[in-house]
Homo-oligomer: A and B are copies of this chain.
Amino acid sequence: MSLDAVLSRIDSDLDASLDRLMELLRIPSISTDPAYKDQCDRAADWLVADLKSLGVAAGKRETPGHPMVVGHVEGDGPHLLFYGHYDVQPVDPLNLWNRDPFDPEIQDTAKGRVIRGRGAADDKGQLMTFVEACRAWKAVNGTLPCRITFFFEGEEESGSPSLVPFMKENAEELKADLALICDTGLFDSRVPAITTMLRGLLGEELTITAASKDLHSGMFGGPAINPIRVLSKIIASLHDENGRITVPNFYDGVPEISEEQKEQWSGLGFDARSFLGGVDLSEAAGEKDFSALEQIWSRPTCEVNGIIGGYTGDGFKTVLPSQASAKISFRLVGDQDPLEIRENFRAMVKGMVPPDCSVEFKAHGASRAGAFDTSDPAFEAARRALSDEWPDEAAFIGCGGSIPIAGHFARLLDVTPMLIGFGKDDDQIHSPNEKYDVESFHKGTRSWARVLAALSE
């Protein structure tokens, strides 16, 4: 095996590997919208064919939702599993995109070349960094460096309803020595990272119904109760004046941040002003007495992700709507129990619903936070390998997002998850004009070659 030859091959094959990524990006595999079911299927087929071209015994595996893609290649050394997801977020508001989200393009920007399109960073671009590293390895060495299982999901952006059942049913097949997951980011553009703490996520949708139909506010305004007002009052009461969440017992299981950890994090030199300044904000608006980094990595949140009610078109309509609804999510940390929080949240909301109104809830996923064991020497080996590729030393970091799959590997299969990714803060994932830096893609692919070399030694 020659790592240098593999890295050279990655460099010389960059254009072709970008072309392959563009093909995958052109498939609008929006998992949350049933209208795109066939497209999710197409993306899975594309991946199966691509893995087969690497000599991987790959197949599409049906689920009640979108299919999984699973592939195996035999080899000596450790058994690594690689996880990524081929589904993408919806694209609305479409009018804020500067081009068709599914007509991707390599663009020259002031900050360098970027791959523009839905899924470029989350997660197709990241997923392909690993596949391309394997392709280069195979081209140079004729085989892959060790036994590898590829595991691609198509429901990550819609709560992964089929994931746990599938993992349980196929536990033997998916059991590996280490699960590599590529769905996280760099610490900053010079510092690569292995993410070892993730927040959990609880999603709730609530709909308040008042009158049995929309009313005319001239005729009924006054005596008829307005569900938007009811909903606004509920939302306004979810935080106190210090930014703390008011759901009863919400902070049960939230760990104190140790002085040691605070010190390590403040040593990272995170610049909150520039992080927030990138999106035209200036100050951390979350819980009082916590820094922006502490708020993101180690504190739970409650956010309203969407709200709608009444007339929202152009102009004005003096309607008193019958219904109003909101999508609310909680990011969780430590040992917070999403199911208990769901129950307490719903009870609290029910207690605020006035006479003549009713509330309906819809669950949208519930995952616990994760903090992963880094005692396996593979972590230090991977950290060194990443440090070789990037300007500065790699760091073990926390992450504000939720990647439930990491917890599933640990809990369901007793496989240690290792989260390595190359996204940047300004990638605009889940937003219009999502991009992935060509540098992230290129150096990300090189990083995986280095990590594969380090782990299979």
Binding site for B on A (CB under 8 A): 32-34, 89-90, 92-93, 96, 157-159, 199, 201, 203, 205, 210-226, 228-229, 231-233, 235-239, 272, 275-276, 279-287, 290, 292, 295-296, 299, 301, 303-321, 324, 326-327, 329, 331, 354-356, 364-365, 399-402, 425, 428-432
| CB of A354 to closest CB in B, whole Å | 7
**Are A301 and B222 closer than 8 Å at their CB atoms?**
yes
CA distance A117 to B327 in the complex (A): 33
CA distance A130 to B284 in the complex (A): 63
| CB of A306 to closest CB in B, whole Å | 4
**Are A218 and B316 closer than 8 Å at their CB atoms?**
no
**Are A92 and B279 closer than 8 Å at their CB atoms?**
no
**Are A90 and B311 closer than 8 Å at their CB atoms?**
yes
Chain B's closest residue to A276 (CB) is B223
**Are A316 and B311 closer than 8 Å at their CB atoms?**
no
Scoring A157, A216, A290, A425 by chain B CB atoms within 10 A of each residue's CB, the highest score goes to A216
| CB of A324 to closest CB in B, whole Å | 7
| CB of A84 to closest CB in B, whole Å | 17
CA distance A210 to B292 in the complex (A): 17
Assuming the contacts A222-B296, A303-B217, asked whether A318 and B211 have C-beta atoms less than 8 A apart, the reply is no
CA distance A425 to B431 in the complex (A): 45
Assuming the contacts A213-B279, A304-B229, A432-B214, asked whether A329 and B318 have C-beta atoms less than 8 A apart, the reply is yes
**Are A218 and B331 closer than 8 Å at their CB atoms?**
yes
**Are B315 and A306 closer than 8 Å at their CB atoms?**
no
**Are B214 and A431 closer than 8 Å at their CB atoms?**
yes
**Are A296 and B221 closer than 8 Å at their CB atoms?**
yes
| CB of A65 to closest CB in B, whole Å | 12
Chain B's closest residue to A222 (CB) is B295
Residues of B contacting A305 in the complex (Cβ-Cβ under 8 angstroms): 217, 310-311, 316-321
Residues of B contacting A290 in the complex (Cβ-Cβ under 8 angstroms): 222
Chain B's closest residue to A285 (CB) is B225
CA distance A50 to B218 in the complex (A): 31
**Are B222 and A315 closer than 8 Å at their CB atoms?**
no
CA distance A356 to B282 in the complex (A): 6
CA distance A21 to B148 in the complex (A): 74
